[in-house]
Chains A and B, each alone.
Chain A
């Protein structure tokens, strides 16, 4: 049986009104169900446009998109939004509710879920992001990381099949960022193939832990590949204006000092292991 991709772009282009350059040019790609996909690219490369096209916040100028076999168009817009949950960058500007519990309930209210059911779903969703102690708090009294947890809980409450993180960690401190990524990994583990995560990110170490990496450059698709392949070509990453993961930077610096380093891509743990081995041989 051929697996049907959860998200499919066919020759999609998009231009913002009054823009000289199209934001996306003839983009075609498929994202497999249950994958964790990182989308990287420099500022203005069309990453966010790409994310907004998936749930019809933006309408493609040409081409077609399907999510789980359903075409993304005016007719199916609310079915698509049931399937795709989105967490945005700014924790303040996506908090609709007056309190944490109200915010989580917002999506359910829109879907006309009866109140008795909401009373079960809301604490459950908050429990999963470890925020139920804060249910009655207002947004002004939460940290950025906590607000993003609430945003995740709000998305989880409606049980989407695709979770899009549109630079969701970019306004958090390093601790909040680590915690949030760990949380999404945990949820992903729990839901397995039932959840596809599409993470749009500037954080290269976060991208390095994905199943697939998509590179966008000036609205064009530069490649879809495993992180091992993408990140081992440090030269190309630099050319595209992207950062190189820490382990690769270390490798390059060691190489420059004449130390023979492994040719294949290494994670930070992999590098640590290799250094241990090298040390014991000396």
Chain B
């Protein structure tokens, strides 16, 4: 599972690493909206170029990002195929039973695929270049206005930070349970759908039980170290906007305008 990059932080010294976590968070969110402005091939080429440039600037290499797509490949393919088979407008290319493949269907499925990929890649930049606690801090900072309406912002942020910190730990654990069950003769990823689903029970139940045990122990450890909920806590990590954040915002703004302009080509 070492190529699983969801929630895994890779330290580095690039410009993107030094950006404030809030900047990366806001830009990731904005990107999801902005990408929908692209409505032709030029728009998608421009957006792809922008994402590629951003990835180059992280200094981590494309391989890491493509590896991160693998676990999501199934989901992407399903949505792509749904688009491909059930789009009924445009010129009909193939017609068989309830499935119709049309030109619009092909174009749309390609668009959905590319859009999906760009969004995942761009948002992965945030988690790959930002320590989990900073992501949580950024969320806390951005959500702090919600405190006024009674949302427990600090508690939510702590939960997110712990969740992110335990992703690699639980991944490793899942791997060892899987190996342990294989050693006892459980065959994963074999047989029909029902058989497959059943084979995951001996993995999921121990993983779930262990997660509860972990939670109890972590709770004890946190309490023993003086954690009390609902109380004000000081912060060791502080977020600070710097000049490069301004540059990043400006670059994104230019990208957004550029992308909007491609609609008129």
Contact = CB atoms under 8 A, between A and B. Distances in A.
A105 B165 CA distance: 16
A108 B226 CA distance: 9
A85 B226 CA distance: 9
Contacts of A96: 162, 165, 218, 221-222, 225
A55 interface: yes
Interface string A88-127: 1010111111110110011111111111001000100000
Given A90-B217, A115-B234, A139-B169, A81 B161 contact: no
Interface residues of A, number: 41
Contacts of A88: 217, 220-221, 224
B221 A110 contact: no
Contacts, number: 104
Given A82-B226, A109-B234, A102 B133 contact: yes
B258 interface: no
Contacts of A115: 234-236, 238
Interface string A187-230: 00000000000000000000000000000000000000000000
A78 B228 contact: yes
Nearest to B236: A105
A13 interface: no
Contacts of B217: 88, 90, 93-94
A2 interface: no
B105 interface: no
B241 interface: no
B131 interface: yes
Nearest to A112: B234
Interface in B121-140: 131-134, 136
A158 interface: yes
B223 interface: yes
Contact of A110 (B134, B162, B165, B233): B233
A113 B235 CA distance: 9
Given A57-B220, A122-B236, A98 B227 contact: no
A140 to B, nearest CB: 4
B164 interface: yes
Nearest to A110: B226
A154 interface: yes
A57 B225 contact: no
Interface in A136-163: 136, 138-140, 154-155, 158
Interface string B155-170: 0000001101100110
A55 B224 contact: yes
24 contacts: A81-B223, A81-B226, A82-B226, A86-B224, A88-B220, A88-B221, A90-B217, A93-B213, A93-B214, A94-B218, A95-B165, A98-B9, A98-B132, A98-B134, A98-B161, A99-B133, A106-B225, A109-B233, A109-B236, A110-B225, A110-B231, A112-B234, A138-B9, A139-B165
Interface of B: 9, 11, 131-134, 136, 161-162, 164-165, 168-169, 172, 213-214, 217-218, 220-228, 231-238
